[in-house]
Structure 1
Amino acid sequence: MRKEELIRYQLIEAILLWEGRLTARHLMDYFSISRPSAQKSISDYKTLNPNGFTRSQSEKGHVAVTGFEPLFISTDFAHYQHVFGDRALSNDTINCAIELLPVPLRNVTPELVRPILQAIKQRLRLDIGYLSLSSPDFEDRIIQPHSIVFDGFRYHVRGFCEKNQDFRDFVLSRFNGEFAFEGEASHAIEDDRDWQTWLEVVICPDQRLGPKQRQCIEYDYQMSDGKKVIRTRAALLNYLLQRLRVDIYQADAESQQIIIDPECRKTLQAYLNHR
């Protein structure tokens, strides 16, 4: 299967799964292709998933069957958001119901990322300039990176820092891009204890809320018996808590909404505020 075909099939599935009705116009607008080409892509997909959708005269399009199962995408709504939200920003012909919140631009360029990815893939030591809050000027750091992490707002590089002799997180946009490789890395991802340690974060409604309010929160977060378990690496715990907005205590229960289960917090205490 050619990549072009796969991308078209993914779009077809995203529309059928989340909108329920597909027409050739969707593909024509999205890919700037002709109607015959769009119709052919739909027909080709039909041979791969013959029971996934039917032609509806009343709907004037192809309609997904109940329980439609995609073959090429996940059932996570984030995929639909990615397909349409990002594309709609640069193509005003696409009718999109999703509005993405603008965030401050970060200094993330191909020139900056390439040496880091190369060091990760080839397990190399990387000498690169880094700007930290404690140092107003770029200083050379020799790091041994093993992963790039996106916390929902900015990118981080996880790796061994030879200055601190420990695994640390570095904000990707604070590197200056001037680098040199310094041979093979001596510390691998398997040596990063916090990265290899998995934790279960248990969240529950703020107990200061009333019964009906707690029930609303439980429904919103798909909790079972008043709790939701989220599995994460110990190295990423603080990023998760920030995204859940439970890293700061709110005096107003309705603003807080969810908290970490008290017993769980005792277990997590040893990993909070790790670098």
Structure 2
Amino acid sequence: MDNKAEPRLEDQSQPQQERLFYLEFRLYFLGHANRSDLQLRFGLKESSASRDIALYKKLVPNNVVYDYGIKSYVPQPSFVPLFAYTGTQVLTALTHGFGDDYAGPKFPEISSEAPSQAPLPFIPTLAAITRAIHKEKSLTVNYYSEEVGEKVSTIVPHSLIDSGNRWSLRAYNRGAERFEDFVINRITDVQDCNDEPTVDEQKDADVLWNQIIELNLKPHPSLAHPKAVEREYGMRGGVLKMTCRAALRSYLLRQWRVDTATSPATAGQGYQLWLDQ
């Protein structure tokens, strides 16, 4: 009688879990996986890749079956994921390449296009900003605004913001004595100050950043077939309840082109969503 305990995922090492995750990812989202996939990705020997597959089959015995026609494992109808996945994680891996643990080129698994992709930040500027955020230091920047043109400001950055059409940073502006958003690509020069922020300049003091608000979005009343929008946005009971930081409210509503008027606009203005206030 074999009393050996069955393997458990939580008992496996981190590298082992990463290999199992990659194996399942290919099974789940690409429909097949084999030893060669593991060998190519992780530089394994054939015997090591075989052991990984055998371990996966022990952990979830009803998930895969070997297809001799394509010489790969394929998911069974009874497939239940061993790992949890997020939409962002999956789409990034599929469209930009899987993983970030090596410096080689990343190759997408699925063809995709992003016509509305935001301009990417200039790398030297971004590096200076992220260093300041991580080390909790201030920066002196030359910044171009639409109102006053170029101006020198000393700021204390604490977070990056992807608004959908541009990258910004959230920071305390010492000159204005308030927290503001700065578009990263409008910064033309960065100088490290290396002084530590005061309590009033730190992220915990940014009231609008730390305040979480709820938005109730509904299909726009002008739509002839609101069920289409309910389905697209995964609404329940005709309402999409969203939470966001108060500081980011305008970004979200603008990116999704939400009608925020108390009285909804009439047909013909292209709104899909209306903010129920």
- Normalising by structure 1, we get a TM-score of 0.76
- Mapped pair 1:198 → 2:212: yes
Deviation at 1:154?
A: 2.3
- Bigger Rg over Cα: 2
1:22 maps to amino acid:
A
1:119-268 → structure 2 map (5 Å cutoff): 119-137=132-150, 139-186=151-198, 187-210=201-224, 213-246=225-258, 252=267, 255-261=270-276, 264=277
Write out per-residue CA displacement over residues 41-65 of structure 1, whole angstroms, 9 at most, x where no aligned residue.
7426616833362223367432335
Aligned to 1:271: none
> Does the 8 Å CA contact 2:65/2:74 hold for their aligned counterparts?
yes
> Alignment identity in percent?
19
Write out per-residue CA displacement over residues 150-194 of structure 1, whole angstroms, 9 at most, x where no aligned residue.
223322110110121110001112223431215110211111110
Could you tell me how far apart the structure 2 residues matched to 1:215 and 1:82 are? 29
Higher helix share: 1
Q: How many residues align?
A: 252
Provide the aligned C-alpha RMSD in A.
Answer: 3.3
- Ranked by relative contact order (alpha carbons within 8 Å, sequence separation 6 or more), the top structure is 1
Write out per-residue CA displacement over residues 95-131 of structure 1, whole angstroms, 9 at most, x where no aligned residue.
x43312254643420x222332232223222212222
Could you tell me how far apart the structure 1 residues matched to 2:256 and 2:24 are? 30
Deviation at 1:245?
A: 1.7
Aligned to 1:87: 97
Deviation at 1:214?
A: 1.3
The 3 A distance-change label for structure 1 pair 55 and 5 is: same
Name the SS for the 2:73 alignment partner.
strand
1:191 maps to amino acid:
A
Deviation at 1:77?
A: 3.1
Could you tell me how far apart the structure 2 residues matched to 1:48 and 1:108 are? 47
1:43 maps to amino acid:
I
1:122 maps to amino acid:
K
1:112 maps to amino acid:
T
Name the SS for the 2:270 alignment partner.
helix
Deviation at 1:142?
A: 0.5
Aligned to 1:272: none
| Structure 1 residue runs without a partner (length 5+) | 265-275
1:195 maps to amino acid:
W
- Mapped pair 1:75 → 2:85: yes
- Mapped pair 1:62 → 2:77: no
Write out per-residue CA displacement over residues 229-274 of structure 1, whole angstroms, 9 at most, x where no aligned residue.
011000111111122121688754583222112xx2xxxxxxxxxx
